[in-house]
Amino acid sequence: MTVPPTMVTIGSGNPSARRFVGKDCVVTGAGGGIGRAVALRLATEGARVAVLDIDLEGARETLSLAGADHKGFAAKLDVRSEASIAAVAAQTAEAFGGVDVLVNNAGIEVLGTIAETAPDVWDEVMAVNLRGPYLCSRVFLPHLLARASAKGGAAIVHNASLMGQVSSPRLAAYCASKAGLISLTRSMALDFAKQNLRVNCVCPGIVHTEMLERRFALQPDRAEAYRVVSQRPPVNYIGNPEDVAAAIAYLAADEARFVTGSALTIDGGVGAA
Ligand SMILES: NC(=O)c1ccc[n+]([C@@H]2O[C@H](COP(=O)([O-])OP(=O)(O)OC[C@H]3O[C@@H](n4cnc5c(N)ncnc54)[C@H](O)[C@@H]3O)[C@@H](O)[C@H]2O)c1
């Protein structure tokens, strides 16, 4: 695998940056992949993190990687369920007393044209990728607005995709869900700007996680599939979860106070072509 020269290892972050000291953060889909890298980046920079995933074991593993002295917690969360989100929001309020940052990262990818995508599969993709961020934002909103009022700022960052900005064959439901999430980012940014709640999203290109490995597993030759995919970005390598975590941390941090309603592309130049 060709790795970017500046690649950081999971959890290392930037040792000099401590932008999240005194901040309480919530990350969905944090049991692996990009969500895990985000949780660890925020923890490394001083945050208390609620590490949430439908896969509780994965969430617990992420929490353990944050170190024994980390003051966050891991919990099971299904972003499709309002009751599940409400239960975790109550647990977070009890543990942290509020929320400064919500990262809506949980997502699923399903391949197919509309002809190949049955209505229940379409609904499932929307339920996780678009309704999930809407529901989580809605349930956590009072906690975020309270912190925004008390401290002068709070932030939501959605994990959308380059596939919400451009498209790709046989990815109809996924692309539509991510385009919707980019649009939702703008609506939310406008609706809550006056209350000091910023809302942004990231649009990653090809990132090496289990989601990508599941795609490779469908190919007859995994090594060849990897080789072809890694040559697609103009930079000549695919991203790692830490590349996306760095961008999410920036958008969540106070230094991005003038940034709201934006979609930050992190794709090694794929979308520029
Ligand atoms: N990997 C990429 O190339 C890529 C590119 C662009 C955008 N993204 C987006 O980044 C986000 C993370 O993707 P990843 O590559 O790390 O994928 P991943 O499959 O490695 O991780 C996704 C995580 O979300 C969790 N999850 C799934 N359904 C859930 C639900 N209903 N409730 C709570 N948690 C749930 C999974 O258990 C898993 O831990 C997704 O929103 C994805 O669409 C990924």
Q: Which residues does 81 contact at the CB level (< 8 Å), separation at least 6? A: none
- pLDDT for the residue 13: 54
CATH classification of the domain holding 97: 3.40.50.720
Q: Is residue 2 one of the residues assigned to a domain? A: no
Nearest CA to ligand 1 atom 32: 78
Q: Is residue 183 one of the residues assigned to a domain? A: yes
Q: What is the pLDDT of residues 48-106, one digit of tens each?
A: 999 999 999 999 999 999 999 999 999 999 999 999 999 999 999 999 999 999 999 99
Q: Is residue 82 one of the residues assigned to a domain? A: yes
Q: Is residue 226 one of the residues assigned to a domain? A: no
DSSP 231: T
Confidence tier at 149 by pLDDT (50, 70, 90): very high
- pLDDT for the residue 17: 86
Q: Atom of ligand 1 at shortest distance to CA of 31?
A: 39
CB 143, CB 98: distance < 8 Å: yes
Counting the structural domains of the chain, the total is 1
Q: What is the pLDDT of residues 231-255, one digit of tens each?
A: 999 999 999 999 999 999 999 999 9
Q: Is residue 136 one of the residues assigned to a domain? A: yes
Q: Which residues does 224 contact at the CB level (< 8 Å), separation at least 6? A: none
Q: Is residue 239 in contact with ligand 1, taking CB distance under 6 Å?
A: no
Q: Is residue 243 one of the residues assigned to a domain? A: yes
pTM to 2 decimal places = 0.96
Q: Is residue 133 in contact with ligand 1, taking CB distance under 6 Å?
A: no
Confidence tier at 154 by pLDDT (50, 70, 90): very high
> Token digits for 23?
């901040």
Q: What is the residue range of 64's domain?
A: 24-204+239-266
Q: Is residue 151 one of the residues assigned to a domain? A: yes
Q: What is the pLDDT of residues 7-46, one digit of tens each?
A: 444 444 565 689 999 999 999 999 999 999 999 999 999 9
Hey, which residues are catalytic here? 174
- pLDDT for the residue 4: 45
The values of phi and psi at residue 24, to 5°, are -110, 120
Instruction: Please state the rounded mean pLDDT for residues 111-120.
Output: 98
Q: Is residue 219 one of the residues assigned to a domain? A: no
> Token digits for 80?
């499709």
The CB-side HSE value for 92 (13 A sphere, CA atoms) comes to 33
**Cα separations in angstroms, 141 against 98, 110, 147, 193, 261:** 10, 29, 10, 13, 17
- Greatest Cα pair distance in the chain: 55
- In the reported structure, the alpha carbon of residue 33 is separated from the centroid of ligand 1 by a whole-number distance in angstroms of 7
CB 239, CB 267: distance < 8 Å: yes
Residue with tokens 């809550």: 192
- pLDDT for the residue 1: 43
From 139, 208, 211, 232, mutation site for ligand 1 pocket: most ligand atoms within 8 A of C-beta: 211
Q: Is residue 26 in contact with ligand 1, taking CB distance under 6 Å?
A: no
Q: Atom of ligand 1 at shortest distance to CA of 211?
A: 19
Instruction: Please state the rounded mean pLDDT for residues 119-134.
Output: 99
Residue 99's closest CA among 91, 111, 109, 107?
A: 91
